[in-house]
């Protein structure tokens, strides 16, 4: 196989296979983070049996969906700035390459309880629901690329 032909083949493979995979996966990262954030309830102390801890700020669980490449992130657990998590997801999606693994994690100790339905504001299974919506939206996105 000639060097020129190999270069052309590699360029075509990059353009037709690798780039579309990276674009679709980057979109999936953004959608998944947005859906996880959207479906995570914000604590409302008025609905609690007990009182809120001193200095409580609602939205901490919603704001702690962190996106990283290679391994799960372990950020400061006191983040209450959802736009910082969104910006992190956007930065990760922008630098994603096909040979990498993206992780979206929430390290708050009570995120599992929220996913198990311990909040009156969200049903059980918010994570699975967010991933199902992500799957549907990514499939729609991929179909739009083909047309």
Residue extents of the structural domains in the chain:
3-41+58-146
Contact 105, 89 (CB under 8 A): no
Tokens of 92: 């990760």
Sign of CA dihedral 100, 108, 114, 94: negative
Walk along the chain (147 residues) and give the pLDDT tens digit of each residue.
Answer: 688 999 999 999 999 999 999 999 999 999 999 999 999 998 888 887 777 777 777 888 888 999 999 999 876 666 667 788 899 999 999 999 999 999 999 988 889 999 999 888 889 999 999 999 999 999 999 999 876
């Amino acid at each position: 196989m000639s060097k020129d032909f190999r270069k052309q083949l590699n360029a075509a493979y990059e353009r037709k296979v690798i780039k579309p995979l990276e674009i679709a996966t980057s979109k999936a990262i953004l959608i998944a983070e947005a859906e996880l954030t959207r479906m995570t309830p914000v604590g409302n102390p008025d609905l609690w049996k007990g009182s809120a801890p001193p200095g409580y700020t609602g939205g901490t669980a919603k704001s702690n969906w962190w996106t990283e490449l290679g391994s799960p992130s372990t950020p400061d657990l006191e983040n209450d700035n959802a736009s910082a998590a969104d910006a992190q997801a956007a930065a990760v999606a922008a630098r994603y390459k096909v040979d990498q693994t993206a992780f979206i994690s929430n390290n708050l100790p009570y995120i599992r309880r929220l996913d198990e339905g311990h909040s009156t504001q969200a049903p059980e299974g918010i994570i699975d629901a967010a991933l199902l919506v992500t799957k549907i939206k990514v499939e729609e996105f991929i179909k739009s690329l083909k047309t």
